[in-house]
């Protein structure tokens, strides 16, 4: 009986701690989305099967060891299972606490993708104050230690009972044990681990019960979610997201994704070999662009420049972070929920890029980032795909001009102008250049030397808008402008006022300006971030089909089914002319389907998710052949 009571007490402790973690999760993130007390209770109730499954998984090893005391009752139980209990419960507390705190910034549950960003801790320190980071880590460690301590304390030192005879302690074995109760408890724990408490298989899809994504995420057990993601991420790429038979997947893919888009139906440029500059705007999603339906008066400069060139009103970023958006825009590659190509060193030499291609046609290729280029493996990627890298250490920025991320956009744009002018002088009139850069200031902690708007977040985006606008004005007054193509786009959106289940997060600005642009035009055709490369190269008459298999020229006759495929670690989005469909990639739950449900969009999304995971092994195999 003592064994059973101990396991029941340990199970109850972990389950109560899990439920308290859900309450803390919702309380801490209450500003993200309004919910009632009844909705909180519903979230806890719907998550109970997953919670019991995870707790049973943690408790079962302890129970199996405890069963051995039926034969050896004097076995020092606490010394044997204590280390396991201490480590497991401590890790459970850390995962739960980190999920609670990081959700306000990430807007999805913590999963294995976080480990790829741990190599760049400077990103976290730049986004938040030292006080914030230290206090949150302290709270996580303290609560985890408390859970670990209590779990060990309730573990008996041994099952053997002690009696006192004539003032001396004497061991007394437990009476003969009835094996029926331990057998039943074992079966019960196994059932909980496999089926939760409702008799159905405990999977994350069962936790989705509300139209409010915060409540659905609160229902999911964060420890179980982390374990499932680790299992998924540990698989080879070709084993992940096997959603349908290979033949069916290939057949649908062949219908929706053209393999030849090198022809053009609309000539955009005056010159075949213009100088090229790409400007990647940090977090500048469409919700900050008034002309794209976003906030008013935040980015007036960008809105004006859109009217002076070629504006794409239906452009979509492929992912949620700079490392992934950069690879899509410059390498014409898709994004992946479970990995970052930029931070996968083995993939870097295999990636194509606009820089590599243009260098074969006589271009120089440079990239400027006014922060630390080692963050997120940026320097390794840029150098691997053909750029000469310039960061804050290379562009003459005094210490007093630096902030938490590097040099602000005003300084960066000033240096950019100088570098372009110097490059043109060094190259001469016959050697074209390709420059690429990224803005930096429209990012937490939103501290900028500019004070036009009261809203701190909007003001940071307004500052970037001002700096880019001034830069383009200055550049347009130089002779370089006459043969220049400037491509402006965002790396991704921002979750200010949004969650990732809102497709508008991925909607982004994209426009071409410069003297090389033929005439002012606006296009409403869907274009994905990975399509920028092929669209540019086609206008220049440069082949791209074989080198950029995931990039499509949207002005091709074969681009008959415009769509964009976007994703983040927890979800994937498919946008076509009929609407938008988004799924949770872990459970398959449909999070958005607008304006009405579409089985076609859902199937096409699943095809893209599966087919893209075939591409990396194929790319590696091709590199071996070559």
Q: Is the dihedral of CA 435, 436, 442, 445 positive or negative?
A: negative
Contacts of 260 (CB under 8 A, 6+ apart): 545, 556, 558
350 and 295 in a common domain: yes
Instruction: In whole angstroms, give the CA distance from residue 559 to residue 165.
Output: 91
Q: Are residues 225 and 343 in the same domain?
A: no
**Residue 446 belongs to some domain of the structure:** yes
For the beta carbon of residue 134, count every other beta carbon within 10 angstroms.
Answer: 10
Contacts 24+ apart (CB under 8 A), 547-553: 547/352, 547/357, 548/331, 548/332, 548/352, 549/259, 549/615, 550/332, 550/333, 550/334, 550/612, 550/615, 551/332, 551/333, 552/257, 552/258, 552/261, 552/528, 553/261, 553/262, 553/263, 553/264
Identify whether residues 196 and 292 lie together within a single domain. no
Residues of the chain with pLDDT under 70: 1, 116-129, 160-202, 617-626
Structure confidence at residue 178 (pLDDT): 54
* Per-residue pLDDT at 180: 59
Task: Give alpha helix (H) positions in 477-598.
Answer: 532-539
Report the distance separating Cα 284 and Cα 526, nearest Å: 18
CATH number where 540 lies: 3.40.720.10
Domain boundary among 504, 532, 562: 562
For position 318, what pLDDT does the model report? 97
DSSP string, 190-240: HHHHHHTTTTS---GGGG---S-HHHHHHHS-HHHHHHHHHHHHTS-GGGS
Look at residue 554 and tell me if it is in a domain: yes
Q: Are residues 347 and 427 in the same domain?
A: yes
**Is 143 in the same domain as 195?**
yes
Q: Residue 626: what pLDDT?
A: 45
Pair 405, 545 in one domain: yes
In a domain, 369, yes or no: yes
Which of 503, 538, 562 lies at the terminal end of a domain, its last residue? 562
Q: How many domains does the chain have?
A: 2
Residue 347 counted as domain residue: yes
> Where in the sequence is the domain holding 229, given as residue range(s)?
2-161+177-233
On whether residue 194 sits in a domain, the answer given is yes
Residue at 277 is within a domain: yes
Domain end position, chosen among 562, 586, 609: 562
pLDDT at 286: 97
Give the model's pLDDT for residue 555.
97
Give yes or no for a contact between 331 and 321, defined as CB atoms under 8 angstroms apart: no
State how far Cα 358 lies from the chain centre. 30
314 lies in the same domain as 406? yes
Query: Is residue 577 domain-resident?
Result: no
Find how far residue 429's CA is from the centre of its chain.
Answer: 42
**Same domain? 207 vs 333:** no
Q: Which pLDDT does position 388 carry in this prediction?
A: 96
Q: Are residues 222 and 270 in the same domain?
A: no
Q: Are residues 486 and 428 in the same domain?
A: yes
Residue 342 lies in a domain: yes
The answer to whether 506 touches 473, Cβ cutoff 8 Å, is: no
Q: What are the angstrom distances between the C-alpha of 146 and each of 93, 100, 141?
A: 9, 17, 9
> Do 367 and 506 sit in the same domain of this protein?
yes
- Asked whether residue 199 falls in the same domain as residue 294, the answer is no
3-state secondary structure of 259: coil
């Amino acid at each position: 009986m003592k064994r059973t009571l101990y396991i029941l007490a340990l199970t109850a402790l972990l389950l109560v701690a899990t439920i308290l973690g859900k309450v803390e999760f919702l309380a801490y993130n209450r500003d993200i989305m309004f919910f009632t007390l009844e909705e909180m209770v519903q979230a806890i109730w719907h998550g109970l099967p997953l919670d019991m499954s995870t707790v049973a998984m943690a408790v079962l090893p302890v129970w199996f060891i405890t069963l051995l005391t039926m034969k050896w009752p004097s076995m020092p139980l606490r010394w044997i299972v204590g280390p396991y209990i201490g480590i497991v419960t401590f890790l459970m507390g850390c995962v739960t606490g980190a999920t609670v705190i990081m959700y306000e910034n990430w807007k999805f549950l913590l999963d294995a993708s976080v480990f790829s960003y741990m190599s760049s801790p400077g990103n976290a320190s730049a986004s938040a104050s030292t006080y914030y980071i230290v206090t949150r880590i302290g709270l996580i460690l303290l609560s985890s230690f408390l859970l670990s301590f209590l779990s060990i304390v309730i573990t008996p030192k041994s099952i053997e009972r002690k009696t006192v005879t004539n003032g001396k302690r004497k061991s007394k074995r437990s009476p003969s044990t009835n094996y029926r109760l331990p057998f039943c408890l074992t079966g019960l724990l196994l059932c909980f681990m496999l089926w939760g408490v409702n008799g159905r298989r405990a999977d994350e899809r069962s936790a989705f019960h509300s139209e409010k994504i915060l409540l659905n995420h609160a229902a999911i057990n964060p420890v179980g979610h982390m374990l499932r993601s680790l299992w998924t991420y540990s698989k080879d790429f070709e084993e992940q997201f096997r959603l349908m038979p290979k033949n069916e997947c290939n057949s649908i893919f062949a219908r929706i994704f053209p393999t030849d888009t090198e022809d053009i139906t609309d000539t955009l440029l005056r010159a075949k070999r213009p100088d090229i500059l790409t400007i990647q705007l940090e977090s500048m999603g469409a919700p900050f662009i008034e002309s794209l339906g976003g906030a008013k008066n935040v980015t007036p400069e960008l809105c004006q420049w859109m009217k002076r060139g070629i504006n794409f009103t239906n452009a979509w970023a492929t992912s949620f972070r700079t490392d992934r958006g950069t690879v899509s825009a410059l390498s014409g590659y898709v994004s992946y929920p479970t990995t970052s190509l930029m931070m996968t060193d083995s993939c870097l030499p295999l990636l194509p890029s606009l820089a590599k291609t243009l260098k074969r046609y006589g271009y120089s290729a440079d990239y400027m980032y006014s922060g630390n280029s080692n963050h997120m493996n940026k320097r390794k990627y840029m150098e691997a795909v053909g750029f000469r890298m310039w960061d804050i250490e290379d562009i003459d920025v005094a210490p007093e001009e630096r902030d938490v991320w590097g040099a602000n956009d005003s300084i960066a744009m000033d240096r950019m102008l100088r570098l372009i002018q110097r490059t043109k002088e060094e190259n001469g009139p016959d050697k074209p250049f390709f420059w690429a850069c990224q803005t930096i200031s429209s990012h937490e902690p939103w501290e900028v030397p500019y004070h036009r708007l009261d809203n701190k977040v909007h003001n940071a985006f307004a500052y970037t808008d001002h700096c880019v606008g001034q830069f383009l004005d200055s550049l347009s007054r130089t002779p370089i402008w006459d043969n220049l193509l400037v491509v402006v786009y965002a790396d991704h959106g921002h979750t200010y006022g949004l969650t990732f289940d809102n497709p508008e997060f991925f909607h982004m600005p994209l426009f071409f300006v410069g003297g090389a642009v033929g005439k002012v035009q606006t296009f409403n055709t869907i274009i994905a971030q990975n399509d920028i490369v092929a669209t540019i190269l086609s206008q220049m008459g440069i082949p791209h089909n074989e080198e950029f298999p995931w990039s499509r020229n949207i002005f091709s006759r074969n681009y008959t089914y415009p769509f964009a495929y976007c994703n983040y670690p927890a979800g994937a989005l498919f946008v076509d002319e009929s609407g938008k469909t988004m799924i949770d990639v872990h459970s398959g739950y449909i999070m958005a389907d607008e304006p009405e449900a579409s089985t076609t969009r859902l199937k096409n999304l699943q095809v893209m998710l599966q087919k893209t995971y075939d591409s990396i092994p194929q790319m590696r195999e091709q590199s071996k052949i070559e």
